[in-house]
Chain A
């Protein structure tokens, strides 16, 4: 019974009306917290963190590049879990979650690629190399675009949701490839230095600003995802009401004169 009580809020979130009410209450607070965390994180990144002994000042790009790359992968994880939830439990809110997360994930992935490229030019001497890590993240970006294109390309929204969910689950294979690409292949990209067995190898003066920025980016994702999910629920209500309006008009028009004639 205790377990049932603890998962009850999750079930309540599955009800769109309750989700909308809860999101409306918490989004402003989360948005405020996100702004505060970004302010602290940016202050630490520019005024407290020292230049790196090898990268110099360009290490400051890492405070956006690394969180963006983490979020790019986490967002795909959210889509994968939502897609699984939609295919197994057929709950519309799982589909809403998967749909709302795709454009956000695409933006974070693009940011990881662009900021990485802008770091690569001064540090590696090139904007781009076809190295395993960079290429697998580029594939992740195309996967996001593919998910959005597939959904837009299928008119029947239920079918579009199911097809997109299958594609998202198949695409999940990219996540371990990205994570372990730096171990499996000889890449130019450096290996893991934060999430690794044996703890981070980064000095706390650089690690802390990075973690604050990562938290700020994560909260930004949560805020945007909740808001985008709310938008999708509203859009579906609009579609449902329009269909009802059409049905009502179709039912009334032919029946009116016919009934009069019969009477």
Chain B
């Protein structure tokens, strides 16, 4: 243990809280990624693949790409 003087408890508490909060944030983001990826795979397994992906498989002309991956919810 590093000698941190009379206020060591405050220093360890600050670093401990940081590790705890950042660790929780990382865990949440990693878990969220896994959950969404699994949901997407389930939907694709049910034949609900992306239009562009299906078009590629069919060898058809895709038209403008990138507006069909769910991130576009503008409805314009």
Contact = CB atoms under 8 A, between A and B. Distances in A.
B29 interface: yes
B58 interface: no
B18 A235 contact: no
B4 to A, nearest CB: 5
Contact of B48 (A46, A115, A241): A241
A126 interface: no
B52 to A, nearest CB: 8
Interface string B1-16: 0101111101101110
Contacts, number: 137
B43 A90 contact: no
B33 to A, nearest CB: 5
B48 A244 contact: yes
Please report whether the interface of chain A is mostly helix, strand, loop or mixed according to DSSP.
Answer: helix
B55 interface: no
On chain A, which size bracket covers the interface?
35 or more
A130 to B, nearest CB: 21
A115 B14 contact: yes
Interface in B36-54: 36-37, 39-40, 43-44, 46, 48-50, 52
B8 A57 contact: yes
B46 A234 contact: no
B70 A58 contact: no
Interface of A: 15-18, 46-47, 51, 56-58, 60-61, 64-65, 68, 90, 92-93, 96, 103-104, 107, 110-111, 114-115, 118-119, 121-122, 157-158, 220, 224, 227-228, 230-242, 244-245
18 contacts: A16-B66, A18-B66, A47-B2, A57-B7, A103-B28, A107-B21, A114-B14, A118-B10, A158-B75, A230-B33, A233-B71, A234-B37, A235-B32, A235-B36, A238-B43, A241-B40, A241-B70, A242-B43
